[in-house]
Structure 1
Amino acid sequence: MRWHPRRRAPLPGTAPIHEGVNAVHPSTTDSPTPRIAALVHRQRVAVRRVLDGADDRLLVVAGPGPARDTAAALDYARQLAEAAIPYRGQLLVVLCAYPETADADHGRRFLLGALGTGLPQAIRCARPATALHVADLVAYGLVTARPATDPLHWRWAARVPVPVGCENVAGCDVDVAVAAILDANAHRTRLSRFPVAHPAAHLVLRGGPYRPEHDPASTTDALIRLRTAGLPPRLVLAVPGVDDLLRQRGVAVSVARQVAAGQRGVVGTVIGSFLHAGRQSTPVGYGISTSGPCLGLPDTVSLLDTLAIAVERRRLRRR
């Protein structure tokens, strides 16, 4: 399948590509309509079902993360939503693109506009206060583990009503991330009004420069550590944001191979993706990431196809 990104002017009022949701013009409202709120709730339930294994699709979180060019980010969101339509039976694609700014109101307006595509939204918790301000519009969160426990970030992971992926520090062991997950889940339980609260966090496994990138042995070891800690043996594999795009593609293919081989502990993947491949320090080129190296949309669509085939093969193994 060949995909050619198109540069199109952002039209926040454009009709959505699927889900039948009317796009919200970001300059007219900062609050979700009841229809948008209902959509976000359904998206959260869908994400949780995939993470819990009740839905055997694969979670795919794709996007540049923080983006300076919000026009390009909205353009990317529309094209990703269109590209994901053929794979809705195998993949749950989540958009991770949001303004690179501390202005929470601007972030809300952008997310409301992006929700018009019908894609669930994800954010990284770089600024917990800002993240809480937009938490009612997202279906998934990401937070990076730190060498020392950061109570502010983990309390955020416990308070937001969405699943949160906790990444291990690149090149380091997963024990810090596992401890943070236990802390966040315990805090969620204490805050909950219900006897059993939904777990707040799970592991997002990142590779490092001095160890294999998500080979089957590393995946199995991480799952054993989770089980030993009393956590569900489930994890999301993150494709590394490195300048070597060939290495990124190789890791993504390794993820697909493990899924195809029947590895049920792998419930998702995180991919750095934007309209065009690469990274730039200042927003000169349209649709090129300024935060981290990203795959271009053609490579992303090719990867979606590979992952969808892997999910089908995993299903055949279960029959």
Structure 2
Amino acid sequence: MKQTYDVNVKEFKPLISPASIKEELPVADDVAKTVLNGRREVENILQKKDDRVLVIAGPCSIHDTDAALEYAQKMKRLRDVVKEKINLIMRVYFEKPRTTVGWKGLINDPFLDASYDMNEGLRKARSLLIDINRMGLPTATEILDPITPQYIAGLLTWVAIGARTTESQTHREMASGLSMPVGFKNCTDGSLTAAINAMTAAGAPQHFLGIDPQGYSSVVSTKGNPFGHIVLRGGPHPNYDPVSVEKVQKRLKTKNLLDAVMIDCSHDNSGQKHKGQSFVFKSVLDQRLDGNTSIIGLMLESNLFEGNQKCNGDCKTLKYGVSITDECISWETTESLIRCSYDRI
């Protein structure tokens, strides 16, 4: 009899269990303190108990952990300077959604050579998060694969569900069990409905298939996540303007959801050009200073150096500190924006 399953599967490779990698790379008390304090601060900002502006900034994607650590050191110094008015969190993205094909991030292909050593990718990701949190700098990422949280979620202060997965039931269920605030981006077509529905679904208890700490397939039952909120990232047209923000505020109030709006200054809000991010950032800050306290935060795609470069599969020939995915603003531009904002708030 001919085989009827796994017809197009080439091979299976065993994956290290979450419990094993946590034992190999444990969370020390100082690291846990950064994570727990970071989550509490974000929760307070979302509930308007903390009037600071939340800013999540960092590389579009991490491909070089040395460059990421250098960036983190710079951000930690700046975080300490602006902490009374701005809560600065580092964007540390390990997974990249692809419209068709391409490099899918450090966890999927850590050596950028199509070797797909995901065990090493998970180790690199977890180790980097530990190092950054040990500095006292909270971290944020996008969760793309529903298996990933068991490996790294204990080191994250904030996570995003991206524009391509906000409509996914799998990601809404996963978000309902996450231990930190979750930002849901509007869809790539600019619509808000999927993100608003996602907030409602993630706020409710859910039951779904997943893995346990030992890596076994399990039925996962969750309590629901009360800290889901919306992230505006643009669509066919930008949606960071006052009219678009007011529109989403009304939708949130109608659904009795958190009246908290984060603006992504990159992606379709900046025309996917790094130079547009500064304009968006300043415009959104103006709205906040004009009294719109529903705008609780902003996101920036930022790296040591501006622009981007092609991922050619050879780490040695890549420019240091330059993105291999979306265009990023430089650290100098990032620091200037943050310091100017601090002076204006």
- Structure 2 length normalisation: TM-score? 0.76
Residue in structure 1 matched with residue 113 of structure 2 by the alignment: none
- Write the distance in 2 (CA, Å) between the matches of 1:138 and 1:147: 19
Letter of the 2:143 partner, please give it. C
- Write the distance in 2 (CA, Å) between the matches of 1:47 and 1:73: 23
For residues 92-123 of structure 1, what are the alpha-carbon distances to aligned partners after superposition, in whole Å with 9 as ceiling and x for unaligned?
00111244223322211111111122111111
- Write the distance in 1 (CA, Å) between the matches of 2:326 and 2:275: 15
More helix by share: 1
Task: Report the CA distance between 1:265 and its aligned residue.
Answer: 0.3
For residues 111-139 of structure 1, what are the alpha-carbon distances to aligned partners after superposition, in whole Å with 9 as ceiling and x for unaligned?
11111221111111122211331111111
Task: Report the CA distance between 1:262 and its aligned residue.
Answer: 1.1
Identity, in percent, stands at: 27
RMSD: 2.2
Residue in structure 2 matched with residue 89 of structure 1 by the alignment: 84
Task: Report the CA distance between 1:65 and its aligned residue.
Answer: 3.8
Residue in structure 1 matched with residue 339 of structure 2 by the alignment: 305
Return the match for 1:236 from 258, 262, 265.
262
Q: Which runs of 5+ in 2 are unaligned?
A: 1-20, 95-105, 109-120, 208-220
- Write the distance in 1 (CA, Å) between the matches of 2:147 and 2:306: 31
Aligned ranges for residues 116-265 of structure 1 at < 5 Å?
116-146=134-164, 149-187=167-205, 191-192=222-223, 199-208=226-235, 210-241=236-267, 242-265=271-294
Structure 1 residues 98 and 207, CA gap change in structure 2 (3 angstroms)? closer
Structure 1 residues 93 and 186, CA gap change in structure 2 (3 angstroms)? same
Letter of the 1:128 partner, please give it. P
Letter of the 1:84 partner, please give it. R
For residues 179-225 of structure 1, what are the alpha-carbon distances to aligned partners after superposition, in whole Å with 9 as ceiling and x for unaligned?
11110111379833xxxx651411011112x3244111111111111
- Write the distance in 1 (CA, Å) between the matches of 2:152 and 2:180: 12
Q: In structure 2, the residue corresponding to 1:277 is in which secondary structure?
A: coil
Structure 1 residues 118 and 29, CA gap change in structure 2 (3 angstroms)? farther
Structure 1 residues 42 and 147, CA gap change in structure 2 (3 angstroms)? closer
Q: How many residues align?
A: 280
Structure 1 residues 244 and 38, CA gap change in structure 2 (3 angstroms)? closer
Task: Report the CA distance between 1:78 and its aligned residue.
Answer: 0.6
- Write the distance in 2 (CA, Å) between the matches of 1:187 and 1:290: 38
Residue in structure 1 matched with residue 132 of structure 2 by the alignment: 114
- Write the distance in 2 (CA, Å) between the matches of 1:96 and 1:111: 11
For residues 23-43 of structure 1, what are the alpha-carbon distances to aligned partners after superposition, in whole Å with 9 as ceiling and x for unaligned?
xxx9x9501012322331111
* More RCO (CA 8 Å, sep 6+): 1
Q: Which runs of 5+ in 1 are unaligned?
A: 1-25, 313-319
Residue in structure 1 matched with residue 17 of structure 2 by the alignment: none
- Structure 1 length normalisation: TM-score? 0.82
Q: In structure 2, the residue corresponding to 1:128 is in which secondary structure?
A: coil
Structure 1 residues 198 and 143, CA gap change in structure 2 (3 angstroms)? closer
Letter of the 1:79 partner, please give it. K
Residue in structure 2 matched with residue 37 of structure 1 by the alignment: 32
Residue in structure 2 matched with residue 3 of structure 1 by the alignment: none
